[in-house]
Structures are given as structure tokens and as C-alpha cells.
Amino acid sequence: MDDASMVGLMGRVTGTIGPGLVGEVIVRVRGGAEHFLAYPVTGTDRIERGTVVTVVEYLPPRTVYVQSAYDS
């Protein structure tokens, strides 16, 4: 999967993302759902479990930078 095809995909946080934390998200890709290590795009953001996020950057093979998909 190349960088461009991951960017813009939506996922759900399965492990809290935030400063000093390596979070986790599940994203639907390649006909299934896969888990990725996740960091916030803005280093000070905290994104709680269950939040829908958008992938902003992908670092192969299993790391993504995300932001909340909806304003809260």
C-alpha cells in the first residue's frame, strides 16, 4: 500500500492517542481492517478511544499520524 492510498482514510481509535503515548487505530484497508500505531498530527492533541479519525500521514509499514475526523 503506498502513502497516497492511506492518506484520507478514516479509522477508529482503539488505544488512546496523545503526548507521550503511542496510540492505536483500526483502519479498513486491503479488503479488511488492520491496526496501526498512531500519533496525533498536533503533538499536544489527545484523542480518546472510540473517536473517528482521518489518516493525515502514513509511515510504512504500520504507523499513521491522525486527526479527529469531526469537530467536537
DSSP string, 4-54: HHHTT-EEEEEE-BBTTB-EEEEEEETTEEEEEEEEESSTT--B-TT-EEE
pLDDT in tens, 18-57: 998 999 999 999 899 999 999 999 989 999 999 999 999 9
pTM over 0.95: no
**Per-residue pLDDT at 41:** 95
Asked whether residue 3 carries a pLDDT value surpassing 80, the answer given is: no
d(CA 69, CA 64): 14
What's the N-to-C CA distance of the chain in angstroms?
31
25's grid cell: 487505530
